Copies of this chain bind each other. A is one copy, B any other.
């Protein structure tokens, strides 16, 4: 099992608080020793930090915790390898271009029979079930919508159906983003919370850190955090039911099925 962390916000927001909690699960309070990665979007561009080493001992993870990179869309992952060796090319998130946008993907779970998924022109570089599923998903999308789409509801519906097909192969919890939308799919473990005014306090489960969001935000901020398990113990997280698909757009839940 791995842990996922995503964020969608209406103003560029740093994810230091949530990332600090997640990183502790990378070999300290959790068993996820086989690498970690995080992608921050900045407009249409992105920056990814990743490491096949445990996150709790990573110099690069330290930088990310201390350096408040602000973003409206973040995808992060810490890994406990099941399919594919421990290497940089097998470390999530994965990013590929489609329709002139960079799409970033992270997966939690384990699939069987994934080797036969047709990825078309998108060739996997590593050998994880996750990267193959991602390439298959984008290849399906490109076949269905060869040109950059304008009807995003149709795209979301199609992604949801494609996720249903991947779920038939095993456990498939997913985060996917193009920097504007954050798409989530749940097989068994995915939680989310939307924070907005009036903001309160929250305390991390994995480390002795409390934050007063009121001091860190403005009244119009809307920030959604999505995680495998709740990261705080004094807030109400929504548990996604099996087979649910959600889309967050600049912090707001904008589509679900």
Contacts and interface: CB of A to CB of B under 8 A. Distances in A.
Interface in A82-104: 87-91, 96-102
B45 A48 contact: no
A126 B44 contact: yes
Interface in A53-110: 59-60, 63, 67, 87-91, 96-102
Contacts of A96: 97
Contact of A44 (B51, B67, B89, B102): B89
A177 B42 CA distance: 25
Interface string A7-51: 000000000000000000000000000000000001111111111
Contacts of A243: none
A91 B45 contact: yes
Contacts of A88: 42-47
Interface residues of A, number: 35
Nearest to A51: B47
A45 B100 contact: no
Interface stretch (A116-124, A152-160, A192-200, A231-239): A116-124
A139 to B, nearest CB: 11
B125 A101 contact: yes
B121 A100 contact: no
A46 B87 CA distance: 10
A130 to B, nearest CB: 14
A35 to B, nearest CB: 10
Contact of A45 (B46, B49, B87, B98): B87
A246 B224 CA distance: 49
Given A44-B87, A45-B126, 18 more contacts: A42-B88, A45-B52, A45-B87, A45-B88, A45-B90, A46-B88, A46-B89, A47-B50, A47-B51, A47-B88, A48-B48, A59-B67, A63-B63, A96-B97, A97-B123, A100-B124, A101-B125, A121-B142
Interface of A: 42-52, 59-60, 63, 67, 87-91, 96-102, 121-126, 142, 148
